[in-house]
Structures are given as C-alpha cells and as structure tokens.
Structure 1
Amino acid sequence: MTSLASRRQTPLPTAHQRMQMPLEQPDDSRGHIEQENSRLRRLGIDTGDEHVVFLQSDSPICSSEGFIARSRVELHVADRRLVATLEVVHGDLLAVDEAGLSESAWRALAPKPNERAYFSHAPTVESLAFVRRKIYGHELDSAQFQAVVSDIAGRRYSGIELAAFIAACANGRLSEPEVGYLTQAMVASGSRLHWPGAVIVDKHCVGGLPGNRTTPIVVSIATALGLVMPKTSSRAITSPAGTADTMEMLAPVDIGIEAMRRVVERTGGCIIWGGSVNFSPADDVLIRIERALGVDGEGQLVASVLSKKIAAGSTHVVIDIPVGPTAKVRSQQEADSLSALIQRVGSRLGLQVRTVLSDGRAPVGRGIGPALEAHDVMAVLARDKTAPADLRERSLLLAAQVIELAGLATLPIDAMAMARNTLDSGKALTQFLAICEAQGGLRTPGVAAFQHPVTTSLEGRVTCIDNRRLAQAAKLAGAPHSPLAGLTLDASLGSRVSKDQPLFTLHAQTQGELAYALEFVSRHPNIVEVGTP
C-alpha cells in the first residue's frame, strides 16, 4: 500500500501538462459517463465567441460529475478536447442523453456523424494566480504574462476570469515594461509572418471616429509605389463598421494565412480580416469582453495594436490618433500620453513607429456603415468630383506619413506630392482593383431599401457633431450586422444650413430598424448641433 508521504513525492501534472497528455478513454471508475449517454446536438444558438455546452437538468452527467450552471467543463470527442461553459436546460429541449452545443462550440469541435462526447471538469488554470497577483497591484514579469495569455488563447478562462484580468490591467495599472511583456505574449499566442525586405509598412487608427475609412486608400497608394503593406484589420467592436466590414463590401476578407501570402506576393499588399489569420488570438478573446464592459485601457490598447502589427511582419507603422471631445481619445493630454507609450513600447520591441494626432471633432467622409463607407472609398479612389474631400485629404496625409517613414521621401512636402500624384493619376485605383481581384474579386456595394432624412428646424451653422451618438444611431439602424445600413452626413462641421435642410439621412434594411433608430434620434435632437446667429 502506498503511503500518503510517498504519494506526495509524485507531483500532480500542471494544467498545461495535462492538455499535452495523450487522451485516455474514460471509465466509470473515474466518474465519467459512457459515450452513448452524451450524443451531440447542434442547437443553432449563437453565443458569440464563447464556447457553451447545454445539458438537461436531469442529465446523469450533471449528477455524476457535480456540474451546475456556469461550470467550466472539458468535452472529449475522439482525439479533440474543448473547454466550455455549461448551461443547464429545464424542460424538453434536450434529452437526458444529449449534449447541445452552441454554434462556436460546434465549429470548434467539428464533430463527425455519430461521434459521442464525454465530460470532465476543466483543468485547473494555474495562471489565475498571476491574475490575482495583478488584482492586488503587483507587477507581473514576462513569464507570468506568457502563462496568462497562453491560457486566454487556449480558451481556458471563463468570462468572469477574463473580466477580472481586464479590470486588473485597466486605468493605468500596467507599467511600460508590462505593456511590452503583454504585447510579446500576445504575439506568441498565434501565427506570425515574416516577409523578405527590410521595410514592411502598416497603418492603424486607434478608432473612435465614425467613417474614418482611410485604410483601403492608404494601402492602395503605398503598394502602388512599391511598398509592401500586408494589412490586417478588425471588424466592428463598438463602431458601426470596422475596416474589415467595409472592405468586405468590395472584396472577400476572410481568406486565411496562405491566401494572404499569395495576395501580398502578387500585389504587394492586402486588406483582410485579422481574425482569419490567427494573429494575436488572445487579443480577439479579450476584445469580446472589453466590448461588453465598455473598457479599453491604454496599456491593453497598445498591446492589442502592436501585437498584431508585429505578428503580421511589419517593421514601420504609422498610427493615427484622432483627438476630440466625443472621440475615443478626448484630450491633448490623453493623446500625448498614448502617443508616447506607443512609441516607447514599439521601440522596445524593434518597431519603427510614428504617431499622428489628427482632428477627431467630427466624422470623416459622408457614409457611416459598411456599404456607405465603401461607396466613399470608391469615390475617392475613382477621383469622383462628389467624393468626400475630408476622407481624401486625411488619406493623403496618412499615406504621406507612411511614404516618409519608409524612406521613399525625406521631406514631408515630397511625400505628400508622391501620395497625391499616385491617387490623382489613377495608379491607386488600379492597384486597389488588383488587390480586390487577388483577394477573390471586386464587389459592388448595395443600397438600403429604407432611407429617412433627419432635418433641422433652425437656420445657422453646424457647431458640433456628437461622434458617439451619431455612431449609435447608425448601429440602431442596423449597422454593421445589416451591412447596407447606417447613415450619411448631409451637413459637415462648420457648414451653414437652412431650416428643414437634412443634417443626416438614416439608412436601414428593415422598417423596424429604421423606426428603432428614429426613436433614438428623437430623444437626442442635438446629435448634429446647429447654432443660430
């Protein structure tokens, strides 16, 4: 008989070691349920990115394992494992021998016909000790951040545990070295690309400004001049459209890492959805919780942005920071602090980073929403006389910054001339069409079926535009999940308007969504504020 003392000499495997151990078949002696008691069923329930499994309240699995609602469980299907959150179902939705899967869990497990699942408690997540350490105000080192981020990327944290980590790191609680460690850990959590050549450029905007869709134009100008720009972009987090949402109106963006390589090798650049290439996957998990909390801490923002640039193989990055009272960055002091942190952490990690503080007092362009922003992008590239001048000029400014940072020009005036000539000559449009073709073919954005102008009862000058409420109106109209929805601005900041003139026009794909947005607008009549003489 083995004594207690002798048993203690053999340490238990860590959670990470357990995940690497060969899969063992369960047996009743360990409290597991026979495979036939856990038939898999796709329920068609969308839980976002969270993996959820549903069991009937009378399921023998719950009683034998002691599972309750919100338990973290590990599913075993053949040689595959998945950690998920358990939800308990009352009623007759599921039989006692069935396990229902959410859409994300079903996609992750990809069960074959007649495959069965069996359950165990999820492995202990040892890196939570470091999260608790951070909650109490202690600094973490590189190895500790690596452990936390590895478990986040492996979906081993619950939503509550993710929220705890985010809160512990928010509001200036990350030191500059910690931001660097978090960035490096995020890079290590996913794929990473390397390209030939010493200069690989990129551009990013920290967000908070509706309609600021400069990326497709900047990529087209930069790559037309021979620069390499493998641009990955996000979908909307809290906005009516992300760059990937807008670009998807013009070409496929969910193309995978090998297709991305081919596009860049063929054209010098791409504009794709970052989620399709597994860059910094831990960041994608954290963003889902940040969106729900409405928290976007400075240190985590920097780590998010820089990790994806490094993972994409970039060496020279221009970062646009719009500053305005209703933008994400609201004051000059905030902008200066963020700019300095981005540059210092970027330098620490071997990136050449240039920040640009831009005007964030009002939206850019006329369209807000995926298709409407795509129409603006095409108008600028096609040199249409009706193209929004502010989107054109901001795109040229940022393209010039990329050109100068990459060393194609030594003076700002020369860089701007190169950018303007590339756009005005039609070379940027030709390049953009080539990128679209390489990504799967050019698409034509549609137009929403329902439109309604919002007019002013005053005569005067537009003195203020509330970016946040304008974006909210576009989202209530259906953007971005209804890609043709959103709004178009009919009056710009500083322009004169007459009584009954439209200030903006709501676009919706259904009458219900249009009514929803109009109700919000009626409660906030000064989204576009008109000052009288």
Structure 2
Amino acid sequence: MPVEVVFTTKIRVKCLGISTGRRLIALSKRDAERLGFKVHDRVEVRASDRSATAIIVTSQKLVSPGEAAVSEELAEDLGLKDGDEVVLRLAGLPESLMYIRKKMRGQRLSRREIYEIVKDVVEHHLTELEIAAFLLAEEFHGMSMEEIEYLTRAMAETGQIVDFDRPVYDKHSIGGVPGNKVSLLIVPIVAASGLLIPKTSSKAITSPSGTANTMSMLAPVEFTAEELKEIALKAGGCIVWGGKLNIAPADDIFIEVEHPLGVDPTSQMLASIMSKKLAVGVDNLVIDIPVGRGTKAETISEGRRLAQMFVDLGKRVGIR
C-alpha cells in the first residue's frame, strides 16, 4: 500500500520558476530518505482540491531540509506559490509501462495500448528514459501499418483539433536536409492560388534546422490554435510551429527525446507528420521525400517505400 506523507508547516513549497518540460519536485536527500522516496519515483502531489503526478529528484543545494522545490509546470498545474503546503503519496507505475515493455519484446500493440502510452506521455506520467525505451523499441522492432494508424490517431486525439470547415491543403517534407527552405516558397504560392494551407511545422529532429526554426528567423512562429485559424483564414496560409498549438502535443515530447539520441523511427515519423495534418483537418497533402546520402531515405527504393507508406496511412486516416 502506498504511504501518504503530509507535509508539516515546516516543509514549504518553493517555486523555482524554471520550465523543465515535465512535472518535477525536488527534495533534499535527507527528506527523500526520511520519506522513503528515491530519484525518479512518481509521487502524487496534492494541493487543496487539485493533484498531479510528479517525478522525484533530489538536491543538496537547491533545497534545504523542510523544503520542496517544484518546476514551473507543476506549480502552474496545481496553482502553487511559495510557502504553500502539499500532500505527497507514492504513486504506482503507469499501466502504459507494461505496453512499452511489450513493444520492447517485439509484440504488436492494440489501439487501447497505444492510446494509453500516448496519453501518459502527454500527461507527463512517463520519464524521458521510459519514452526513449518506447522510441527505441519502434526503431529496432518497427510497427505494423495498423499500429502506425493507432499511433497517428492517438497523437491527434490527445491534443486540440482545428476545424476550418473548408478543404485544407498542405505540403510537408520528412526533413533530414539542413536548411531546406522549400516550404517557405511553396506555402505562399499555394495560398496565392486560392487554396487554404495552414502549415504546421516541427523543429529540427536530426538536422540543425527544421522549417519552424528557419521561419522563426523571419517571423514569429508561436501561436495558439485560435490564432492559427484566424491567420490562415485571413491570409490563406501560414507557417507556424506546432508545439505552441497543443496540436498532437505528444509529438514535441517525443522529438525532445529523439533529438539527443539522433533517432527518428519510421513509424514515429509517419505518425508525427500525419497526426498534425489530421488535427488541422488536412484533406489533400503533398509529401516531400529527399533522397540521397545523409537523408532519411538514402536510396530511391527506400524513398518509394516511404512514399507508399504515406499513401497507405493517408487512406486509413482520410487524407489524400
């Protein structure tokens, strides 16, 4: 049975004001040992009538005994401020870990199992190590087209959906070529032709600069979903970073883990691109697949194989 530990008035919340990309709570080593917590343990943190799951870290200098420092994400979720009291309880392991281990053994995952993994990624219930394990399982064992469809839909459904109520067009490159500026030319040309092209782009994964990175040198790329819709309908098109939109939010978490590893599993690349297109209601899509040494498709045959996978996945999710 998990043991619930109530902080006394001597243990204060200390808001760090630091964004870590996940919910973290830092205790002194003495307090962690006294309460029976270890680094990377999951704890349920309660404040008044709100609660969230956070990951334990320890520090000798950041906090003193009797203090608990929290990341910006945890402070915002619980509405915490310096000096607040919280309640900690050791949380159990998320069910999705079983499904990650299942994929690590090379077994197929069901729609519900994949949805649980993606949901826990979005809700920050999984550590970076656990997400890396899932990505590497994809890299080495691959996924069936059915699994990729499930992953695509789960990534779209766990974020915001934008409905333009009219045909939407898009063009997307799978990346891998540093400084590729094709999208910056194509989007205004398509928009000038009278077609709606609200292009969402990711930041670099395996190359030094993605489309969103390049565009950010020329104009702001961080907008809300409402702003995206307003700009696209007014101008006929736009290029924005998908991370700020809460569109397929799991994707940017996956990318943060992929980037230092230098990996981009084919299944994840397909789901990453198509989930964002699904979330903004894309009906017609052109995929740019660079081929050659150093790209993600080093041979013509590999490029054609990828192209067919995009076509097959598009049919499954309703994108031509």
Q: Normalising by structure 2, report the TM-score.
A: 0.91
Q: Tell me which of 194, 203, 215 is aligned to 1:247.
A: 215
Structure 1 85/113 Cα, relative in aligned 2: closer, same or farther at 3 Å? closer
Bigger relative CO (Cα 8 Å, ≥ 6 apart): 2
Q: How far 1:287 sits from its partner (Å)?
A: 1.6
SS at match of 1:322: coil
How far is the alpha carbon of 1:192 from its aligned partner?
A: 0.9
- Indicate the residue corresponding to 1:408 in structure 2: none
- Match of 1:125? 94
Q: Please name the residue that 1:58 is paired with.
A: 30
2:14 is matched with: 41
Match of 1:187, SS? Answer: helix
- Residue 299 of structure 1, CA deviation: 1.1
Alignment-mate amino acid for residue 39 of structure 1:
R
Report if the CA contact (8 A) 2:99-2:109 is conserved. yes
Distance 1:63 1:347, change over 3 A: same
Amino acid across the alignment from 2:265: G
Contact 2:42 2:93 in 1 (8 A): no
Shift of 1:247: 2.0
Cα deviation, 1:26-57, whole Å, max 9, x if unaligned, reads xxx9632235344222335564x243221111
Q: 1:295 aligns with which of 247, 250, 263?
A: 263
Alpha-carbon distance between aligned partners in 1 of 2:228 and 2:92, rounded to the nearest angstrom? 35
Measured in 1, the distance between the counterparts of 2:185 and 2:131 equals 36
Match of 1:364 in 2: none
| Count, aligned residues | 320
With structure 1 as the length reference, what TM-score do the two structures score?
0.56
CA distance in 2 between counterparts of 1:267 and 1:170 reads: 39
What residue in structure 2 maps to residue 264 of structure 1? Answer: 232
Residue identity in the other structure for 1:69: V
Deviation at 1:153, TM superposition (A): 1.4
Per the TM alignment, residue 125 of structure 1 is displaced from its structure 2 partner at its CA by 0.7
- Distance in 2 (alpha carbons) for counterparts of 1:38 and 1:190: 36
1:171–1:298 Cα contact (<8 Å) kept? no
Q: 1:266 to 1:134 in 2, by over 3 A?
A: same
Alignment of 1:77-476 (within 5 A): 77-90=47-60, 92-106=61-75, 108-112=77-81, 114-171=83-140, 173-197=142-166, 199-352=167-320
Q: Unpaired runs of 5+ in structure 1?
A: 1-11, 13-28, 353-533
Deviation at 1:181, TM superposition (A): 1.1
Native 8 Å contact 2:96 2:120 kept in 1: yes
In 2, Cα distance between equivalents of 1:141 and 1:30: 33
CA RMSD in angstroms, aligned pairs only: 2.3
Partner residue, 2:44:
74
- Which of 1 and 2 has greater Rg? 1
Task: Measure how far apart 1:245 and its partner are.
Answer: 2.2
- Once the two structures are overlaid, the 10-residue window that deviates more, 104-113 or 287-296, is 104-113
CA positional deviation for 1:183: 0.8
> Kindly tell me: are residues 37 and 334 of structure 1, through their superposed partners in 2, closer, same or farther at Cα, counting changes over 3 Å?
farther
Cα deviation code 1:196-227 (max 9, x no counterpart): 22x21011111111111222221111111111
SS at match of 1:204: strand
The verdict on how the C-alpha distance between 1:161 and 1:105 changes in structure 2, with shifts beyond 3 A counting, is: same
State the distance in 2 between where 1:238 and 1:108 align: 32
Q: 2:4 aligns with which of 31, 36, 57?
A: 31
